[in-house]
Amino acid sequence: MIRTLVVDDDFRVASIHAAYVEKVPGFVVVGQAHSAEALASSIGSIQPDLILLDLYLPDHHGLEVLKRLRQPASGASDVDVIVITAASDPKSVRSAMQCGAVHYLLKPFGFPALEEKLLAYREMRRQLRALQADDQSSVDRLFATMAGPPRASMSSPHSSHTLEAVEELLARHAAELSANEVAASLGVSRATAQRYLAQLEASGRITMTLRYGSTGRPEHRYRHRGSDVAGLG
């Protein structure tokens, strides 16, 4: 099992991400930390293989934490890190890459986005164990792995039509819709609706927000970016 530590200043968000991780085969959450100090004090005893690291921590910036982790004195210089943050500026992305982050995932996101990154990371670890250093093709495949599996092809008429239908439905509604509402409106399964919503979100054509209820997990709500613009007029 890949021992995973979730680091986020927001207790609710950390719990959500931990629940996501637990749903992916081969991963187990061994702890949650909500500050850089809590991370530093627990990492030695927890000994994670992977850290999901938020950048906006209350005591230190996540990039500084990442730099410290890379120092031999940290005792965790070989731990892998996936940065999870709302910081989309090129400087933050570049700094994370320079400090050895294996991936950079922008908030907010749904389970499919994180699942894709975790599965790619799991495959990368598998390939590393079998890597032959003198085999260039194996090295090339290893570096390509963290880009994730190819997204479902949109070349077939049926796939293209469904994707367009999902986007058009959201464009017609000023209010946010859930995956269940999209599925009911189009007569498709929730899993199908969720898959196309995730693809549209990844392409930047729609946005996703979390709606917290009194109990249970938050609901994912989707809005077309054109609706945001129209609402400003």
Nearest to 197 by CA among 207, 189, 212, 188: 207
CATH number for 2-122: choose from 3.40.50.300, 3.30.70.3280, 3.40.50.2300, 3.30.70.1170. Answer: 3.40.50.2300
Residue extents of the structural domains in the chain: 2-122, 157-230
* Topology agreement, domain 2-122 and domain 157-230: no
Nearest to 30 by CA among 11, 56, 49: 49
Q: How far apart are CA 167 and CA 170, in angstroms?
A: 5
Name the stretches of the chain with pLDDT < 50: 149-157, 229-233
- Looking at residue 18, its pLDDT comes to 95
Q: How far apart are CA 118 and CA 63, in angstroms?
A: 21
What residues have CB less than 8 Å from 91, skipping those under 6 apart? Answer: none
CATH architecture of 157-230: Orthogonal Bundle (1.10)
Give the C-alpha distances (Å, rounded to integers) separating 73 from 46, 68, 79, 142, 186: 16, 8, 13, 28, 56
Q: Tokens standing for 8?
A: 């986020």
- Looking at residue 147, its pLDDT comes to 63
Q: pLDDT tens, 96-151? A: 999 999 999 998 888 888 998 998 899 888 888 777 656 676 677 767 766 654 44
* Relative orientation angle of helices 111-129 and 190-202, to the nearest 10 degrees: 80
| Per-residue 3-state assignment (H helix, E strand, C coil) for 74-141 | HCCCCCEEEEEECCCCHHHHHHHHHCCCCEEEECCCCHHHHHHHHHHHHHHHHHHHCCCCCCHHHHHH
- Looking at residue 227, its pLDDT comes to 58
- Looking at residue 225, its pLDDT comes to 83
